[in-house]
A and B are shown apart, each in its own frame.
Chain A
Amino acid sequence: MSGVLLALPRVQVRFRPGLALSIALVAFFVIAAIAPSLLTTQDPLKINLGDALQPPSAAHIFGTDQSGRDLYARVVYGARESLFIGLAATALSMSIAFVLGVSAALGNKLTDGAINRFIELLFAFPVLLLSLLFVTVFGAGLTTLIIAVGVGTAPGYARMIRGQVLAVKGSGYVEAAGALGHSYPKVIRRHILPNAMRPLVVLVTLGVGQSIVWASGLAFLGLGVAPPSPEWGALLDAGRTYITEAWWLEVMPGLAIVSFALALTAIGRYVQQRLEGGLQR
């Protein structure tokens, strides 16, 4: 009815400074991951003990660490590993979630029940606990970190995917496709999966940022990538010892993590709005 008009806000395309900044930040880190030498001329691993623990200055804008290495260069070079961890963990988590969620939603009652219990079991282990378990069994390292974060965040996504698939499965257009005589596998491929996965685009964006935060947290606890790697979490871990004398060792990598995760979230939210808005128009 005409009343519905009142409830729909009009989608206006206008410049958003926050969004522009987010895109710029993400672009910066992506360049850092692909070609760090474009962003800094310093060597992240070059030790210069004479310059140890210098506060931020014109020569070293993020300051230097206990071995006199340029912190800015280390953050830039660390982006590759951090981004890789974020992407890989999210990819792993989404793959597990996809298999679990889709089979639960499309399977029979028994499969659904079994998978649901399994998801609940996974839920019972917090990411941190699961990571400790993995590290104890496999030893600390990049792969362990990715697996720990990937498996740890999977159950939440699995739930969401299951719900999405169920909703689409019960929709009118899936029934209509069946009434037209299309086979069920074809309907799954052409209608159910694409429509159910649509909202996941956003989840993935948000997930990458979250995974990086998780991985950094684990690295901070010494459960991640070992020094001298400039991975952001490892930087935090290394700087912990000097926190009273050199604040920048914690703040600069911390800012990198927070700003990247925030920027990704902002972009994710924007994409979400656009997707929903686009569907409404």
Chain B
Amino acid sequence: MTDLLRVENLRVGFGDTEVVKGISFSLEAGRCLAIVGESGSGKSVTARTLVGLTGGRSQVTADTLEFDGRDLRGLRDRQWRDIRGRDIGFILQDALVSLDQLRPIGKEINEALRLHRYGSREERRKRVLHLLDEVGIPEPLLRVRQLPHELSGGQRQRALIASAIALDPKLIIADEPTTALDVTVQARILHLLERIRDDGSALILISHDLAVVARMADEVAVMRYGEIVERGDAREVLSNPQHAYTRALLDAIPSTHSKGTRLSPGTPHVAPVVERAPRAADTPVLDARGLVKRYAGPDGQTRTVVDDVSFELRAGETLGVVGESGSGKTTTARIALALTEPDGGEVLLNGEPWTAVPEKARRVRRREISVIYQDPLSSFDPRWSVEQILADALPPGVRDPRKRVGELLALVGLEGEHRARRPLQLSGGQRQRVAIARALAPDPSVIVCDEPVSALDVSIQAQVLDLLTDLQEQLGLSYLFISHDLGVIHHMSDRVLVLNEGKVVETGTADEVFFAPREPYTRALVAALPRLEPRAASGEPTPAQVVA
């Protein structure tokens, strides 16, 4: 079979910076090539180059850049527009920003057809409905008139895929197509992409998620700093990685086999240094009893987002809360933080009433519980330096705030030079470290971690998870750990609470929930995970299958 796409020595630069440094690959019809890498590896730029979307300030050069026998080098914008959509479909990561907010999705898809002069008006209308049906959007007749924000995240992504495949392109490029999605939705989207590939389209999958890649790809190219460090058959690369970077990436994935081990190599394990006054062991630090929260929806109907949720968090323990979006995990966290008033039930903090007392009484006790958000950047005042942010979080009466800020920075592995920086001048991992330092500043007994690593690259995620584990041992902290990522939850948690539609579906130790799930929902959740085969070369006794 001849190659549908051939790329040789592709270089893309912006100004003086070269972000793609001479990469080569090729792809046949009906096959899937995965380009894997972390932020800044150049994988997204590579994808954009193939559809001519690198922007006017970029310089693209290649020895060969050939698609379906056609040279793609030096095409004009007009020619690219002709190819995009008809010959090459492009699926972006975030459907919410990629779709026009003010246009019904039916029109959006129709637009793609109309631009390439597909059929008559009536034929286009039929084609749109057919496409929506094909990508598995229920009730196409109704959905076709809805705006993007009226659809769920999964449906939006499907709509985007529908517009990308509208003209049966020979090549589909999907840039992180499932990154923002829940695991069960992800499974369905991946299934859809597989079907498209099996129908004969070639697929380039850009992803940071090796487990997704393992499921989909025939071939894998691992990118780092604009270069392909390893390329080959997917099974071969993932089970027997040759390059150290690929191995590090694979090791950094938190999963069932990683529990109790360190995810980031080279960081020494820190032994506990601070002995805490032992708390009364039988009093849970956080005791939630029958929490209920209802919201009035836009249609006037009341939705119960948290429905009779109870849990106990004991000193020094991590309770993982897992569930898909809309399962009520964040609302539960907000109630635990007393940022949202529950409509029923109450939370006790260190054995005393917490959510049931007025805010005035709570204020002095707020330092007993702190929080780490998913997006640290928005949780910092952009005008403040790291020093100000941390000093602000110190409890009143700290004698030497400067010294204490220094200690906090050291605790989370940051240097004195970071003091004067603004949050925007830090990397994602550094920001999350500052967020952790701020959470530690009031000397809390509980930290609520709301998706603390889901915005981070896998190697940074590994470092942050290791840091949280160390801090827990050092300081005897209790974590209420919220995540949609089952691998992360299993890695971190002593006990796990599975939420679905506001209700507690299952609760138990991490191993019970993951290896012997009792409830059908939990079983479905665990089964929906893309899995990574254990590494043959590692030689360690690993479970038969690794949950990633």
Are the C-beta atoms of A179 and B424 separated by less than 8 Å?
no
Rounded to whole Å, the gap between the CB of A173 and the closest CB of chain B is 5
Contacts A10-B15, A172-B378, A173-B379; is A2 near B44 (CB within 8 Å)? Answer: yes
| Any A CB within 8 A of the CB of B375 | yes
| Any B CB within 8 A of the CB of A121 | no
Alpha-carbon distance between A182 and B438 when the two chains are bound, in angstroms: 14
| Any A CB within 8 A of the CB of B420 | no
Are the C-beta atoms of B48 and A3 separated by less than 8 Å?
yes
For B93, the closest partner residue in chain A by CB is: A1
Are the C-beta atoms of A6 and B381 separated by less than 8 Å?
no
| Any B CB within 8 A of the CB of A14 | no
Alpha-carbon distance between A17 and B364 when the two chains are bound, in angstroms: 56
The interface bits of chain A over 127-138 (1 if a CB of B lies within 8 angstroms of the residue's CB, else 0) are 000000000000
Contacts A3-B44, A6-B54, A10-B15; is A179 near B366 (CB within 8 Å)? Answer: yes
Rounded to whole Å, the gap between the CB of A281 and the closest CB of chain B is 7
Alpha-carbon distance between A39 and B364 when the two chains are bound, in angstroms: 62
Residues of B within 8 A of A177 (CB): 381, 392
Residues of B within 8 A of A181 (CB): 362-367, 442
Contacts A2-B40, A172-B375, A179-B371; is A279 near B339 (CB within 8 Å)? Answer: no
Are the C-beta atoms of A176 and B379 separated by less than 8 Å?
yes
Residues of A within 8 A of B339 (CB): 175, 178-179
| Any B CB within 8 A of the CB of A269 | no
Q: Which of B432-480 contact A (CB under 8 A)?
A: 438, 442
Q: Which of B333-370 contact A (CB under 8 A)?
A: 337, 339, 362-367, 370
Residues of A within 8 A of B363 (CB): 181, 183
| Any A CB within 8 A of the CB of B310 | no
For A184, the closest partner residue in chain B by CB is: B359
| Any B CB within 8 A of the CB of A194 | yes
Q: Which of B366-401 contact A (CB under 8 A)?
A: 366-367, 370-371, 373, 375, 378-383, 392-393
Are the C-beta atoms of A2 and B442 separated by less than 8 Å?
no
Contacts A1-B176, A2-B41, A175-B339; is A180 near B442 (CB within 8 Å)? Answer: yes
CB-contact partner of B380 in A3, A173, A183, A280, under 8 A:
A173
Inter-chain residue pair count (beta carbon < 8 A): 81
Alpha-carbon distance between A178 and B362 when the two chains are bound, in angstroms: 11
| Any A CB within 8 A of the CB of B520 | no
The interface bits of chain A over 30-58 (1 if a CB of B lies within 8 angstroms of the residue's CB, else 0) are 00000000000000000000000000000
CB-contact partner of A179 in B42, B55, B337, under 8 A:
B337
CB-contact partner of B381 in A5, A195, A280, under 8 A:
A195
| Any A CB within 8 A of the CB of B59 | no
| Any B CB within 8 A of the CB of A191 | yes
Contacts A181-B367, A183-B363, A280-B424; is A1 near B44 (CB within 8 Å)? Answer: yes
Rounded to whole Å, the gap between the CB of A58 and the closest CB of chain B is 51
The interface bits of chain A over 94-134 (1 if a CB of B lies within 8 angstroms of the residue's CB, else 0) are 00000000000000000000000000000000000000000
Residues of B within 8 A of A194 (CB): 383
| Any A CB within 8 A of the CB of B19 | yes
| Any B CB within 8 A of the CB of A171 | yes
Are the C-beta atoms of B373 and A2 separated by less than 8 Å?
no
Rounded to whole Å, the gap between the CB of A277 and the closest CB of chain B is 11
| Any A CB within 8 A of the CB of B219 | no
The interface bits of chain A over 175-204 (1 if a CB of B lies within 8 angstroms of the residue's CB, else 0) are 111111111000000110011001000000
Residues of A within 8 A of B392 (CB): 177, 180, 182
Are the C-beta atoms of A171 and B48 separated by less than 8 Å?
no
Are the C-beta atoms of B175 and A5 separated by less than 8 Å?
no
Alpha-carbon distance between A60 and B442 when the two chains are bound, in angstroms: 72
Rounded to whole Å, the gap between the CB of A193 and the closest CB of chain B is 11
Are the C-beta atoms of B425 and A176 separated by less than 8 Å?
no
Q: Which of B406-444 contact A (CB under 8 A)?
A: 424-425, 438, 442
Q: Which of B457-505 contact A (CB under 8 A)?
A: none
Alpha-carbon distance between A38 and B171 when the two chains are bound, in angstroms: 73
Rounded to whole Å, the gap between the CB of B223 and the closest CB of chain A is 10
CB-contact partner of A6 in B45, B175, B382, B424, under 8 A:
B45
Residues of A within 8 A of B393 (CB): 180
Rounded to whole Å, the gap between the CB of A12 and the closest CB of chain B is 10
Are the C-beta atoms of B44 and A195 separated by less than 8 Å?
no
Are the C-beta atoms of A191 and B55 separated by less than 8 Å?
no
Are the C-beta atoms of A279 and B367 separated by less than 8 Å?
no
Residues of A within 8 A of B43 (CB): 2
Alpha-carbon distance between A249 and B375 when the two chains are bound, in angstroms: 60
| Any A CB within 8 A of the CB of B39 | yes
Are the C-beta atoms of B373 and A176 separated by less than 8 Å?
yes
Residues of A within 8 A of B365 (CB): 181
Q: Which of B34-88 contact A (CB under 8 A)?
A: 39-45, 48, 54-55, 58
Rounded to whole Å, the gap between the CB of A183 and the closest CB of chain B is 7
Residues of B within 8 A of A183 (CB): 363
Most buried by B among A173, A179, A280: A179
Alpha-carbon distance between A77 and B27 when the two chains are bound, in angstroms: 76
For B41, the closest partner residue in chain A by CB is: A2
Residues of B within 8 A of A175 (CB): 339, 379
Alpha-carbon distance between A1 and B40 when the two chains are bound, in angstroms: 7
Rounded to whole Å, the gap between the CB of A142 and the closest CB of chain B is 38
Are the C-beta atoms of B366 and A180 separated by less than 8 Å?
yes
Residues of B within 8 A of A279 (CB): 382, 424
Rounded to whole Å, the gap between the CB of A279 and the closest CB of chain B is 6
Residues of A within 8 A of B14 (CB): 5-6
Rounded to whole Å, the gap between the CB of B152 and the closest CB of chain A is 22
Alpha-carbon distance between A194 and B383 when the two chains are bound, in angstroms: 9
Contacts A1-B39, A179-B370, A180-B442; is A172 near B379 (CB within 8 Å)? Answer: yes
Alpha-carbon distance between A179 and B448 when the two chains are bound, in angstroms: 11
Alpha-carbon distance between A175 and B337 when the two chains are bound, in angstroms: 11
Are the C-beta atoms of A171 and B378 separated by less than 8 Å?
yes
For B46, the closest partner residue in chain A by CB is: A2
Most buried by B among A10, A181, A183: A181
Residues of A within 8 A of B381 (CB): 173, 177, 190-191, 195
Alpha-carbon distance between A3 and B208 when the two chains are bound, in angstroms: 14
Alpha-carbon distance between A281 and B42 when the two chains are bound, in angstroms: 21
Are the C-beta atoms of A281 and B425 separated by less than 8 Å?
yes
The interface bits of chain A over 1-37 (1 if a CB of B lies within 8 angstroms of the residue's CB, else 0) are 1110110001000000000000000000000000000
Contacts A176-B379, A195-B382, A281-B424; is A2 near B367 (CB within 8 Å)? Answer: no
Please give the residue numbers on chain B whose beta carbons come within 8 Å of chain A beta carbons, in ascending order: 14-15, 19, 39-45, 48, 54-55, 58, 93, 175-176, 337, 339, 362-367, 370-371, 373, 375, 378-383, 392-393, 424-425, 438, 442
Could you pull out 5 A-B pairs where Cβ atoms are within 8 angstroms? Answer: A2-B40, A2-B45, A173-B382, A190-B381, A281-B424
Complex A-B, nearest 4 residue pairs according to Cβ-Cβ distance, in ascending order: A181-B366, A172-B378, A172-B379, A3-B44
18 more CB-based (< 8 A) A-B contacts, given A5-B19, A180-B442:
A1-B176, A2-B19, A2-B39, A2-B42, A2-B45, A3-B44, A176-B373, A176-B379, A179-B337, A179-B339, A180-B366, A180-B438, A181-B364, A181-B367, A195-B382, A195-B383, A198-B383, A279-B424
